[in-house]
Amino acid sequence: MSDADPRAQIISLLPRLRRFASGLTHDGHMADDLVQTACLKALERWHQYQADTSLASWMFRIVQTTWLDDYRKRARHKTDTDTDALPDLAGEDGRQVVERRSEMRAVRDALMQLPDDQRAVLMLVTVDGLSYQEAASALGIPMGTVMSRLARARTRLANALRAPGT
C-alpha cells in the first residue's frame, strides 16, 4: 500500500481514534464498533476528503458525529460493570482497590455528566494531546470555542470531584 492509499493512512490513525472513541463511549466494545463504523464511512466518502486538510481532524469529526448520531438513537443504559472489570492487583490492600475503583467510577460518572461538546474537547486535548488549534480543526469550531469549552469542562470536573465540604 502506498502512502496515498486511504486504508494505510486511516490505519495509522487507529490508536488515536480508539482513544478518542473510548473517551466518548466509556466502553471498549462500543469504542471499537464506533471506530469501525467511522472508518467505513470515511472509506465510503473518501472522495469528500480534501488532501490539503488534516486527515486526523477529518477522522475525529467522523467519529464524533457517528457517536452523536448513535447516542441519540439508543436508550441510555448505565451500569457499574466497567470498574468491576478492573484486574485485582496482587499484593494490594483490598481497601485501596475499592477506593481506586470508587474514584474511577466517580471520574467516569463526572465525565458522563459533561455536555457532549465539552467532553469531546476535553478528550481531544487532554487524552489525545491535540493542540487547541488541532482540536478546533477536528471539531470544526473556532479555537476560542475550544478554549472556553475546555475551561468549562475542567471546572465542572473539578467541582464534581471535589470532596463535599471543601
Residues 37-59 pLDDT 10s? 999 999 999 989 888 888 999 99
Q: Does domain 1-77 have CATH number 1.10.1740.10?
A: yes
pLDDT at 132: 92
Provide the whole-model pTM: 0.56
Mean pLDDT of 59-81: 71
CATH architecture for segment(s) 114-166: Orthogonal Bundle (1.10)
Q: What is the pLDDT of residue 70?
A: 77
pLDDT score for 138: 87
The answer to whether 40 touches 122, Cβ cutoff 8 Å, is: no
The total of other beta-carbon atoms located within 10 Å of residue 17's CB is 23
Please state, in angstroms and rounded to a whole number, the distance separating the CA atoms of residues 97 and 87. 10
CB of 164 within 8 A of CB of 60?
no
pLDDT, greater one: 94 or 18: 18
Domain ranges of the chain: 1-77, 114-166
pLDDT score, position 1: 41
Per residue in 102-154, pLDDT (tens digit) is 777 888 888 888 998 999 999 888 888 889 998 998 888 999 999 999 999 99
Query: Which pLDDT belongs to residue 85?
Result: 53
Does position 32 have pLDDT exceeding 90, yes or no? Answer: yes
